[in-house]
Amino acid sequence: MTRNGDPAERAALLWLMAAMHRTTAAYSNLRAAEANARAALATLTHAMAEADAADIANHPDLAYLGAQMRGFYDMPDASGKS
């Protein structure tokens, strides 16, 4: 195809190129949203872990509760011992 080719063929090619650019833009937007969601989830996970640690530190009986439950239900602890 030359520059002075069939106008319908040229229009079809331009339409196809525009569609490819729209697809690439949509994919880029998706990847950006994915990165933002990943960062937000990491922040949330960190905040939840800090809140759990603060709750356990403020209420030491919660840490002891796990030992009581393991003893009551005869469940092994993390080391595999009962």
42 assigned to some structural domain: yes
Full DSSP string of 24-63: HHHHHHHHHHHHHHHHHHHHHHHHHHHHHHHHHHH-HHHH
55 assigned to some structural domain: yes
pLDDT at 81 over 80: no
81 assigned to some structural domain: no
* pLDDT tens by residue, 14-61: 999 999 999 999 999 999 999 999 999 999 999 999 988 887 777 767
82 assigned to some structural domain: no
43 assigned to some structural domain: yes
Higher per-residue confidence, 15 vs 5: 15
What is the total count of domains within the chain? 1
Q: What's the pLDDT at 77?
A: 61
**Structural domain for 37, as ranges:** 7-73
31 assigned to some structural domain: yes
